[in-house]
Amino acid sequence: MVKRYSQEFKDWAVRILVDRLADDGSCSQWQAVREIAPKLGVANESLRRWYEQHLVVTGERQGFTREEHEEVKRLKRENAELRRANEILKTASAFFAAELDRPAR
């Protein structure tokens, strides 16, 4: 079952993780995630992904933000739709061109 967490909760959880990492320089990201996630009642992987997305949004790591990812998905769908429309138009123009080439009776 998929749980949905509010963006405010995700931001709060990431702030806790960021503060933990800043306070203890010897603590690795994974150690901090394993320590904090159970206390918040979230999966380790969820907290890790939220943190990775935070790094992308803040520019500390390269990657796509959620908005950019959604835009790419939308553009891919639009591109596929335009390709289908283009194929239909090509087929229709070939059909009508064949009709024009037939001799009139």
Task: Domain of residue 87: give its range.
Answer: 65-105
Instruction: Give CA–CA dist 22/35, Å, rounded.
Output: 15
**12 and 53 fall within a common domain:** yes
Q: Are residues 77 and 53 located together in one domain of the fold?
A: no
Shared domain for 57 and 72, answered yes or no, is no
Supply the CATH number for residue 15's domain.
Answer: 1.10.10.10
pTM of the predicted model as reported, rounded to 2 decimal places: 0.63
**pLDDT mean over 44-50:** 95
Tell me how crowded residue 74 is: count the other CB atoms within 10 A of its CB: 10
Amino acid identity for residue 60 in this structure: E
Cβ proximity of 20 and 35 under 8 Å:
yes
Q: Which residue has the tokens 């159970």?
A: 38
Could you tell me if 69 and 59 lie in one domain? no
Task: Give mean pLDDT, residues 23-28.
Answer: 86
9 & 56 share domain: yes
42 and 87: one domain? Answer: no
Instruction: State the average pLDDT for the chain.
Output: 90
Domain count, the chain: 2
**44 contacts: CB under 8 Å, gap ≥ 6:** 33, 34, 37, 38
